[in-house]
Amino acid sequence: MTTITRFAPSPTGHLHVGNIRTALHNWLLAKKNGGRFLLRIDDTDAARSREEYVDAIRANLAWLGLEPDAEERQSQRLEKYEAAFAALKEAGRVYPAYETAQELELKRKIQLGRGLPPIYDRGALALTDEQRKANEAAGTAPHWRFRLDHEEPIRWEDGVRGPQEFDATQLSDPVIRRADGSWLYMLPSAVDDLDMGITDVLRGEDHVSNTAVQIQMFTALIAALRPAQQIPRFAHEALLVGKEGKLSKRLGSLGCDAFRERDIEPETLIALLARLGTSQPVEPIADRERIVETFDLATFGRAPAKFDDTELDRLNAAIVHQMAFEDVADRLPAGMDEAGWHAVRPNLAHIGEAGGWWRLVTGPIAPPRLEEEDRAYLAEAAATLEWSDDPWHSLTNALKSRTGRKGKQLFMPLRQALTGLDHGPDMSELLPLIGEDEVRARLERAAA
């Protein structure tokens, strides 16, 4: 069976780092098994869904290189949900309920006060036909609940958490449709997963109880509509937490835009999020194929996955240091060629810093304040300069022989005169880029 996974965001806001991690893991699971990765836009909430967020979701997945093999939108599949609802209604698996939000809250408080779990008491099932008609005659439109089967425990083998078992009597019959006719998450998601042939549902551990409910929905839908189909496999990964070990509100604001503003490479995010929460080390792996090959649900742990976004800068620098010129050429300052990129790359934590280092080549360079002895040394350097295939080593070897200087005394005044700094790229790579005339001019200005 071809592995088919899906990423199903609601377009009610921008993707954050937790969403990105979920999308990545589903993409990796599909690619690892030669399968397909689908994007499903869960936009049944018409009041909160925005087209601008749909566009942003697509753009962010493209930036990350997580291109879906196909896209579906729930708003274009409403007839599918109506058919499924009708079939479940016919099978006696959905029923109308009329309690208000205030009445339900009061019931929960009473249950908690008695030390009971705050689950729905199925009061609506006890209503007679006359009572239902009276509610509707009074203008009370029903919401609809899915009736759970209390006869058997709900079991599945979770791809991360191992064997799972839920007692259905300890779960509320979930509301699947509001009084205004709009859909909640549960039923449309189950209908879509079956209709799209999803084989693996990989999501956060906050959905574990939802999965218990949806397994019964899958069973009921298959019995009513798709007798030959199978329920998807499920895996629930630990949620991201901040470095302090608590759920962090800041994680909810860290999205692709925030990472782009920090000049973080998409490959850096991929390398970090692919391994975060697993037993595998987080490494600066820029090779996407290697990330795919090493992805393994068996390495996922149960402990919360700690996200430290300051680690991104360290990881980003290591990723940048591996990047080839052709991968970054369109993001570099005008005039920087492959030799220039090779020269400045080891000094970069972010590609956006390349412009600052390139100014060491293009100038102007402010002459440093030097002692008279060093100015005389630089004057001699200007007079000694003879251009060659390796002008830096030719110059420093000649000056070492003539002046007896070595180490820092030999190299530092030259670096300061030629770059205005006491650190930076390899001088042997910089000098050919600066050029003979400009190198001599900088030495002479510093000596003056």
Mean pLDDT of 128-141: 94
Q: Provide φ and ψ at 297, rounded to 5°.
A: -60, -25
Distances (CA, A) of 186 to 193, 275, 375, 396: 11, 29, 77, 73
Q: Retrieve residue 121's tokens.
A: 């008491």
DSSP 348: -
Q: What is the pLDDT of residues 357-416, one digit of tens each?
A: 999 999 999 888 899 999 999 999 999 999 999 999 999 999 999 999 999 999 999 999
Q: Please tell me whether residue 255 adopts helix, strand or coil conformation.
A: coil
Annotated binding-site positions: 249
Q: What is the pLDDT of residues 62-118, one digit of tens each?
A: 999 999 999 999 999 999 999 999 999 999 999 999 999 999 999 999 999 999 999
> Would you give the end-to-end CA distance of the chain in angstroms?
77
Write down the pLDDT at residue 309.
81
Percent of the chain whose predicted confidence (pLDDT) is above 70: 99
Instruction: Give the Cα separation of 352 and 333 in Å (integer).
Output: 9
The domains of the chain are located at: 325-361, 363-447
Q: Is pLDDT at 232 greater than 70 in this prediction?
A: yes
Using 50, 70 and 90 to split pLDDT, how confident is the model at 252? confident
Distances (CA, A) of 255 to 63, 153, 258, 261, 361: 12, 39, 5, 10, 35
Other beta carbons less than 10 A from residue 297's beta carbon: 18
Write down the pLDDT at residue 247.
63
Annotated binding-site positions for ATP: 249
Write down the pLDDT at residue 198.
97
Instruction: Give the Cα separation of 134 and 185 in Å (integer).
Output: 29
Write down the pLDDT at residue 403.
94
Write down the pLDDT at residue 102.
95
Using 50, 70 and 90 to split pLDDT, how confident is the model at 344? very high
**Of 38, 36, 40, nearest to 3 (Cα)?**
36
Q: Is pLDDT at 37 greater than 90 in this prediction?
A: yes
Using 50, 70 and 90 to split pLDDT, how confident is the model at 215? very high
Write down the pLDDT at residue 367.
83
Q: Is pLDDT at 227 greater than 90 in this prediction?
A: no
Pairing state of beta strands 94-97 and 143-146?
Answer: antiparallel
Instruction: Give the Cα separation of 316 and 320 in Å (integer).
Output: 6
The CATH architecture that domain 363-447 belongs to is Orthogonal Bundle (1.10)
Using 50, 70 and 90 to split pLDDT, how confident is the model at 249? low
Is 204 within 8 Å of 239 (Cβ atoms)? yes
Write down the pLDDT at residue 248.
67
Q: Is pLDDT at 47 greater than 70 in this prediction?
A: yes
Instruction: Give the Cα separation of 391 and 67 in Å (integer).
Output: 48
Beta-bridge partner residues of 197:
none
Write down the pLDDT at residue 243.
77
Mean pLDDT of 254-268: 94
Q: Retrieve residue 183's tokens.
A: 């859909």
Is 389 within 8 Å of 434 (Cβ atoms)? no
Q: Is pLDDT at 228 greater than 80 in this prediction?
A: no
Write down the pLDDT at residue 169.
95
Percent of the chain whose predicted confidence (pLDDT) is above 90: 92
Q: Retrieve residue 176's tokens.
A: 């699947």
- CB proximity list for 371: less than 8 A, separation 6 or greater: none
**Of 206, 203, 372, 377, nearest to 300 (Cα)?**
203
The mean pLDDT value of the chain amounts to: 95
Beta-bridge partner residues of 235:
202
Is 73 within 8 Å of 43 (Cβ atoms)? yes
What type of residue sits at position 409?
Q
Distances (CA, A) of 323 to 65, 326, 342, 350, 420: 16, 8, 10, 11, 27
Mean pLDDT of 151-161: 96
